[in-house]
């Protein structure tokens, strides 16, 4: 593998306390040296003046749709979209068809991912078939390579089952990922509940549908002493609950998605099904609370919740359309807006999208420590572009950000010392 010297870039590595302009040598698939005095023969030198060199971005909430819905996305196409978005690793959710609820299914994903453009870490199901009634064989899935467990897409309504899942996962040192939704309150709902849903004649989903389950799973984490990771947080009160639990020592981490700090329920105002998701887009005050949670460390991770759907599933009446949007290719650009608005700084951005995701699921990566694998993302913070449908790498195109003028993007993605995406 050809050695690579990333020259004159701003190297930002919060884990090692590095923020400097310098040169990073990648050699033998490792981060070899910062500011080397000599270079191996045949080194490719890339001038990155004005760009940032950061640990490879990690997205721990992605739906790759394979097996079962390859017309929406495959492991290969999803990994290519990830690389284009600057991600060197993703964790894929188990609600495929069939569900990833056995060692054989975990092994099948890992086998398919061997030639993918990024590292793929499968997450196993908590319950058999994702039906929420009996525990899946978590031990076998962990041994096969599962890095966490969740029934994402659906909540685990049985509290005793959730408690046992946390206890079993704790035995293996991996977290339970909570899809926090009280289904009795959210059933039949299609958008945020409030005056706007009333005016539009659409059944709403109240904030409490999320907050009740956030509270329950925080209580179960305290009861069991085991790590729970709360997915796609969207409401002000959820942020407050997590903040209070962390202050009390609860073993919890939490994520939000770019759409929850970039959009409000107003985005669905013209019955735009590309803005339909679960949990739904919320209110202005929720967006501000999400930003505050990212600032003060209440929310640890920005994850895309990349959820591909075909046009057939989106171009329907609003209440019949599928939930979810793609996000791998826009997450970084939307998060960079937080930096430009002084909500967070560059170091915090890297923590939220690289080092903290690695820590939350116990994954390798998240730093440029010499000797670590050479997973690197290069960001041009000033690159301007329009996010256009015909340039989307993902197999699906369901994004409310199509047509947006965005600033800042990944221009070079390197996995294990190999370039997987380049747009210098």
Asked if 243 and 272 touch (Cβ cutoff 8 Å), the reply is no
Provide the token pair at 201.
């004649």
Q: In angstroms, what CA-CA distances link 349 with 31, 171, 336, 418? A: 21, 32, 8, 24
Nearest alpha-carbon partner for 247 in 285, 208, 297, 211: 297
Kindly report the number of other CB atoms within 10 A of residue 273's CB atom: 24
Task: Kindly state the average pLDDT of the residues 283-310.
Answer: 98
Residue 405 above 90 pLDDT?
Answer: yes
Chain centre to alpha carbon of residue 395 = 18
Mean predicted confidence (pLDDT) in 32-47: 96
Tokens (6 digits) for 324: 């979810």
Q: What is the pLDDT of residues 209-241, one digit of tens each?
A: 999 999 999 999 999 999 999 999 999 999 999
| pLDDT tens, residue by residue, 251-284 | 999 999 999 999 999 999 999 999 999 999 999 9
Q: What is the mean pLDDT of residues 7-34?
A: 97
Q: Residue 1 has what pLDDT?
A: 87
Task: State the average pLDDT for the chain.
Answer: 97
Position 244 confidence tier, pLDDT thresholds 50, 70, 90 = very high
pTM exceeding the 0.75 threshold for the entire prediction? yes
> What would the two tokens of residue 264 be?
């409000």
With 90 as the cut, is the pLDDT of residue 33 above it?
yes
Q: Which residues are catalytic?
A: 305
Contacts of 285 (CB under 8 A, 6+ apart): 236
Contact 298, 243 (CB under 8 A): yes
pLDDT in tens, 79-105: 999 999 999 999 999 999 999 999 999
Tell me, what's the pLDDT at 219?
98
């Amino acid at each position: 593998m050809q050695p690579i010297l990333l020259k004159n870039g701003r190297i930002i590595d919060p884990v090692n306390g590095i923020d400097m302009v310098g040169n990073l040598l990648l050699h033998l698939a490792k981060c070899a040296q910062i500011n080397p005095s000599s270079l191996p023969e045949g080194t490719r030198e890339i001038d990155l003046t004005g760009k940032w060199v950061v640990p490879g971005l990690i997205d721990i909430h992605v739906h790759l749709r394979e097996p079962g819905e390859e017309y929406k996305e495959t492991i290969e196409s999803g990994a290519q979209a990830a690389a284009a978005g600057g991600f060197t690793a993703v964790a894929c959710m188990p609600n495929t068809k069939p569900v990833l609820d056995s060692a054989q299914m975990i092994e099948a994903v890992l086998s398919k991912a061997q030639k993918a453009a990024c590292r793929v870490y499968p997450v196993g199901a908590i319950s058999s078939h994702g039906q929420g009634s009996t525990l899946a064989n978590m031990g076998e899935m962990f041994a096969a390579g599962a890095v966490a467990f969740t029934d994402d897409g659906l909540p685990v309504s049985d509290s005793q089952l959730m408690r046992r899942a946390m206890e079993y996962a704790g035995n293996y040192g991996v977290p339970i990922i909570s899809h926090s939704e009280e289904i009795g309150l959210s059933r039949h709902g299609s958008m945020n509940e409030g005056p706007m849903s009333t005016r539009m004649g659409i059944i709403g989903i109240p904030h409490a549908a999320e907050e009740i389950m956030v509270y329950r799973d925080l209580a179960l984490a305290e009861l069991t002493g085991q790590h729970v990771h709360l997915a796609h947080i969207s409401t002000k009160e959820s942020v407050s609950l997590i903040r209070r639990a962390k202050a009390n020592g609860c073993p919890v981490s939490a994520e939000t998605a770019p759409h929850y700090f970039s959009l409000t329920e107003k985005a669905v105002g013209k019955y735009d099904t590309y803005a339909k998701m679960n949990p739904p887009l919320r209110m202005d005050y929720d967006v501000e609370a999400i930003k505050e949670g990212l600032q003060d460390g209440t929310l640890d991770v920005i994850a895309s919740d990349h959820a591909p759907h075909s046009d057939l599933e989106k171009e329907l009446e609003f209440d019949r359309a599928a939930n979810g949007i793609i996000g791998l290719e826009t997450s970084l650009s939307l998060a960079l807006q937080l930096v430009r608005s002084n909500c967070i700084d560059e170091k915090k951005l890297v923590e939220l999208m690289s080092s903290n995701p690695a820590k939350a699921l116990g994954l390798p990566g998240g730093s440029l420590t010499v000797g670590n694998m050479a997973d690197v993302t290069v960001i041009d913070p000033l690159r301007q572009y329009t996010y256009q449908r015909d340039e989307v790498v993902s197999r699906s195109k369901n994004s409310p950000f199509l047509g947006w003028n965005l600033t800042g993007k990944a221009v070079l993605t390197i996995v294990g010392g190999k370039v997987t995406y380049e747009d210098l």
